[in-house]
Amino acid sequence: MIIIPAVDIKNGKCVRLKQGRMNEETIFSSNPVEMAQKWAATGAELIHVVDLNGAIQKQPQNTETIRQIVSSINTPVQVGGGIRTLSTIEMYLDMGVDRVVLGTEAIRHPEKVVEFCSKFPGKIVVGIDAKKGMVAVEGWTETTSVTAIDLAKQFENTGVAAINFTDIHRDGMQTGPNIQATQALAEAVSIPVVASGGVSTIKDIENLLSVASSGIVGVICGRALYEGTLNLSTAIALTKKTI
């Protein structure tokens, strides 16, 4: 299981939101590129970049900042937020992005995701964000009647590289990840699952590691790293010990 630092970009700044609410942000840096460089230098094996403006506007809004991140580090980068079209995916992959994360498209047009997976093998990640087990879309502003597990099962054997699973109620709240829901999702599908939302301390990493054999391959960490309640080097070292 790997530790994946998050760099969330809003209006060109590195921020963290609470439960995805755009009006409840904490600005941690005016330079997202420097933050990505910091996490890369610390030993991160993957950086998770989110274009928050893009998620709301339904198309990329912080492209130049993301381009600078990708060109300034050797660590693989995955990008989500506002990715809806083939041309946007091609733009990011041509830029050097390792993987793109599709969220709203996965539930609105699952057939497109299958098409994209065929065209870009190993490059498509499905982001499943849930409120009380139900999938939320459009930058988390709309909750659907589809369960996270049912949506995940639609992408079995399609070539999806991974599923990023976020419990929205825990995101940015540092209340601990939803271990039970994450484990249940990982056990329900053969696709590798990345946990997200609620990580606060090294104990949360230990708890996830205890169920990692269910198919949890990574955990995205944001606010805990920025506020210092979780040390990236320590967390990475812990995951290496369990191998």
Distance of CA 137 to the CA centre of its chain: 14
Angle at CA 176, nearest 5°, toward 170 and 180?
A: 90
Task: State the pairing for strand pair 193-196/77-80.
Answer: unpaired
Q: CB under 8 Å to 41, separation ≥6 — which residues? A: none
Q: Tell me which amino acid residue 102 is.
A: L
- Residues designated catalytic: 8, 129
Q: Are 20 and 212 in contact (CB under 8 A)?
A: no
Q: How far apart are CA 114 and CA 99, in angstroms?
A: 15
Helix (H, G, I), strand (E, B) or coil at 193: strand
What per-residue string of b and e applies to 187-216 under the rule 16 or more CB within 10 Å gives b?
ebbebebbbbbbbbebebbeebbebbeebb
| Alpha-carbon distance values, 10 to 19, 91, 116, 136, 140 (Å) | 15, 20, 27, 20, 15
